Amino acid sequence: QGNMTRVKINELKPLKPRFEVPDVLIAEPPTDLDFSLPGVEHVYGIPEHADDLKLKTTDGGDPYRLYNLDVFQYELYNPMALYGSIPVMLAHNTQRTMGIFWLNAAETWVDISSNTTGKNPQTDVRWISESGIIDVFIMLGPKPSDVFSQYASLTGTQSFPPLASLGYHQCRWNYNDQEDVKSVDQGFDQHDIPYDFIWLDIEHADGKRYFTWDPHKFPQPKEMLQGLMDKKRKMVAIVDPHIRVDSGYKIHNEITSKDFYVKNKDGRNYEGWCWPGNSGYPDFTKPEMRAWWASMFAYDQYEGSMENLFTWNDMNEPSVFNGPEVTMHKDALHGKWEHRDIHNIYGLYVQMATAEGQTRRSGGVERPFVLTRAFFAGSQRYGAVWTGDNAAEWDHLKISIPMCLSLGLVGVSFCGADVGGFFKNPSTELLVRWYQTGAYQPFFRAHAHLDTTRREPWLFGPENTALIREVIRQRYALLPYWYQLLYQAHKTGMPVMRPLWVDYPKDTIRLTHASYSFLFFFFFYFQVWYDVHTFQKHNGAQNLYIPVTLSSIPVFQRGGSIIPRKDRVRRSSTCMENDPYTLYVALSPKKFAEGELYIDDGHSFNYDTKKEFIHRSLTFANNALTSKYLFSPVEYCNIGKIMSCITAEMTSMSRFVWHANLLMISRTGKETPVDFEFDTSMSVLTLRKPGMNAGADWTLLLQ
């Protein structure tokens, strides 16, 4: 179909007796297929691995392993399996980009052999899965955006998250009780630091019985949630898929009565050891089980829950403390399927059912927010992913960038890493730098282990508190842009955080620096770039050495782009919903710029079901900034946003802008003069309160 080919080989024959190989049991023969990629030196994808973005050859070493596992303090630069598995590989050279989607949820290994000598490089890839059939999609591109679109047509695009979930999240294992939550919430106000979500880990539940609250530590959960709601803030509580075996626990009793637990091979309920002790594991492969699980998020079922309570699915690889490799036995049964056949998709089904529950509790009106640790191809449809239990070490900070880039290439745009590191205690410098990195990753959450010292942003002295406050405020100022990028990912499959070669596919030097993204790099190519803090101009085609202090973050806007912001930062994103937008217009060498502005209510499905949104095309050309609709306009009375406008880099116009008139021309042709300021030293033109409605056509003319 189009530039995509499917190869499916289904051999209906009984499995031969199993035989042992090191560390695994496999069926003979395994499912495997080889691919040769002539002309290809660079391959990417197959997350999750704590490794460089560009996949290495595995000649003489271990293959990359795809097998969802609860890994304790994982190793870096290692092909070992981690928490999630997406069997998708992208191959790229300056002529074309293509992809391979190996649709198999069993344990899988990927061997890579590259010959980069001579004029005709080639990469050979072997896929080997323990069980299942050969079912593979070859996505022929030829452009990176084509591959993203082709893959999205198979597995779906990134879910469109609520705007608030793009703000800052404060988490640790565990906030002790309601008073602790209240104190932390007040601390953010006292130190003028915005945030949107505070999180509760496993200790909040009564004996780690999920869907409950500890009656001593959290006796009035609705009172706690209402206090957050009064400040337009939200909470996330953890709900894991291991269920305490307890005859007094409603959730366990209902799963037992409905026969929804995974089974042993002898037909009894499979039980393993996890946080609550002896636990059963719901069979999320059953649609009936997923529907029942979703129903448990209804307000009359999940006692103490409110509309500002969202969910975190952890330990869903699934984690079984006394199981092989801390996971479920491969001969456990999901109906007629062995666990070995579906292992890597289990976590996806948990997140799917949870997201459905959040949606159903609102009657299908409100968008869900669900974070998952385990994932598979298609998990992007149900929420966010994080990189798991990292450590407070500089190398773990560094590896978070290629890990998120890799996830973005295979559809998971809403990703991030635990700011500060989950294990161990970070130095103050490391913590500040991690905030400065995390603020420019899609999912922005600080998290820490139970045994670490407290890390609220104001506990490291006034100077460091100011640095952390500043970068969180930068995040909030850019929320309109983050939201727009997630909308584009939702509509097109284009990753939010992406390596340079995605936007410059024909440039060989960008392949050398493949792990740099549009949010993290210091190489300027054939363009004009502007420091977003100072508006200083940097010409392209150069390596630039920029002095960096602990208070500076090198972030640049590309000449030729228009980026929307909200520069009035308040205590949460919802508190900012009626504030004006600011457009930052950075001109190209040809004095041209373009961008978009997307606005909706930030939380419901009305953008889709009722087409209630504003989506504008913004263009600066011929001394005029123009706003036009990208889609047929609809009546959207709740959004009549007024914008201010900052236009950066007007050097070529300085000789007459200084004496110029600025007119705002409405759709009806009415002309209104606009006041402005012009900084001759930086050639920056600033317009304040020009009275431009975000949902209307208008032109701002420089005469």
Please give the positions annotated as active site. 314, 389
Helical axes 221-230 vs 178-190, angle rounded to 10° = 10
Task: Pick the closest to residue 392 from 420, 418, 417, 432 (CA basis).
Answer: 420
Q: Tell how strand 556-558 and strand 561-565 pair up.
A: unpaired
Q: Residue 671: what residue type?
A: E
**What gap in Å lies between CA 115 and CA 124, rounded to an integer?**
8
> Is residue 181 within a helix (H) or strand (E), and if so which, with residue range?
helix 178-190
- 118: buried, middle or exposed (CB in 10 Å: 19+, 13-18, 0-12)? exposed
Other C-beta atoms closer than 10 Å to the C-beta of 187 total 16
Phi, psi of 157 (to 5 degrees): -100, 175
How far from 360 is each of 293, 296, 304, 383, CA to CA, in Å? 11, 10, 17, 15
**Chain centre to alpha carbon of residue 197:** 16
Q: Quote the CA–CA distance of 641 and 635 in Å, as a whole number.
A: 14
Q: Which of 599, 574, 560 is nearest to 694 (CA)?
A: 599
Question: Is residue 636 within 8 Å of residue 695, measured between CB atoms?
Answer: yes
Residues 511 and 508: their CA atoms lie apart, in Å, by 5
**407 and 385 Cβ atoms separated by less than 8 Å:** yes
| 152 residue type, one letter | A
Residue 423 half-sphere exposure toward CB, CA atoms < 13 A: 10
Name which of 572, 570, 465 is nearest 191 in CA terms. Answer: 465
CB 444 within 8 A of CB 120: no
Calculate helix-pair angle for 479-492, 144-155, nearest 10 degrees.
70
SS3 label, residue 256: helix
Give the chain's radius of gyration (CA, Å). Answer: 26
Q: Is 675 exposed, middle or buried (0-12, 13-18, 19+ CB in 10 A)?
A: exposed
What are the backbone angles phi and psi of residue 33, rounded to the nearest 5°?
Answer: -160, 140
178 and 220 in contact (C-beta within 8 Å)? yes
One-letter amino acid at 299 equals Y
Kindly state the helix (H) or strand (E) to which residue 153 belongs, with its residue range.
helix 144-155
- Count of Cβ atoms closer than 10 Å to residue 442 Cβ: 27
**Tokens 């590989």 found at:** 89
CB 384 within 8 A of CB 161: yes
Sign of CA dihedral 447, 173, 319, 238: negative
- Can you read off the two tokens belonging to residue 353? 């059912």
Q: What phi and psi, each to the nearest 5 degrees, are found at residue 454? A: -65, 145
- In three state form, how does the secondary structure of 398-435 look? HHHHHHHHHHHHCCCCCEECEECCCECCCCHHHHHHHH
Contact 285, 335 (CB under 8 A): yes
**Terminus-to-terminus CA distance in the chain, angstroms?**
52
- Cis omega (within 30 of 0) for bond into 48: yes
* Sequence-ordered alpha helix ranges (H) in 524-648: 606-609
